[in-house]
Amino acid sequence: MTDILLLIASIACLCVGLAGAVLPLPGPPISLIGLFMLNSTKYVDFDRKTLIIFTVLTIALSVFDYYAPIWGTKKFGGTQYGTWGSTIGLLLGIFFTPIGMILGAFLGAFIGEIIGKADTSQALMSAIGSMIGLLTGIIGKVILCLAMIIWAGIAVVEYFFMMA
């Protein structure tokens, strides 16, 4: 009975983690918790290397995700004003769904650059860079969460085929 409850909880964590890859939730860490919960059932026995790799990727991507909009802003010629604007816009946008996060980072970088006396074309480039950085982080999180779901799914399916 405990294994079934852990299986259900791990599936829930994996799904919520995937949703959190685009929503303002810590997606990959939630999916990783799902993997560890699944690993504690009789259905799956991941090797240590697999769990370490997913843990390291989760930590690295979680750190990168916070810096991606800043990186994008700087990569496209943004200044400190655009970086701060992007960060503030992203934080405010969290309250308005994923689209709000993307628009918040974009508008924040644009407004920040305008406040910093950049011309409109440079402010627009900075804002585009911020948006590209944010989308890069989201895509990375989605890919990692999908990889965890696929890895878990294969392991569970293998268990049930062996039992049949």
Spell out a b/e string for 13-25, using b for 16 or more CB atoms within 10 Å of the CB, else e. bbebbbebbbebe
Domain range list for the chain: 2-163
Written as six digits, the tokens of 96 are 């308005």
Query: What's the pLDDT tens digit per position in 78-97?
Result: 888 988 898 898 888 878 77
Question: Alpha-carbon distance 73 to 142, whole Å?
Answer: 22
Q: What's the pTM?
A: 0.84
Q: For position 25, what pLDDT does the model report?
A: 81
DSSP secondary structure string for all residues of 4-24: HHHHHHHHHHHHHHHHHTTTT
Q: For position 95, what pLDDT does the model report?
A: 82
Query: What's the pLDDT tens digit per position in 96-133?
Result: 777 888 888 889 999 999 999 888 888 999 899 988 88
Q: Band of the pLDDT at 56, cuts 50, 70, 90?
A: very high
Residue 164 has pLDDT above 70, yes or no: no
Written as six digits, the tokens of 86 are 């992007």
Q: For position 38, what pLDDT does the model report?
A: 95
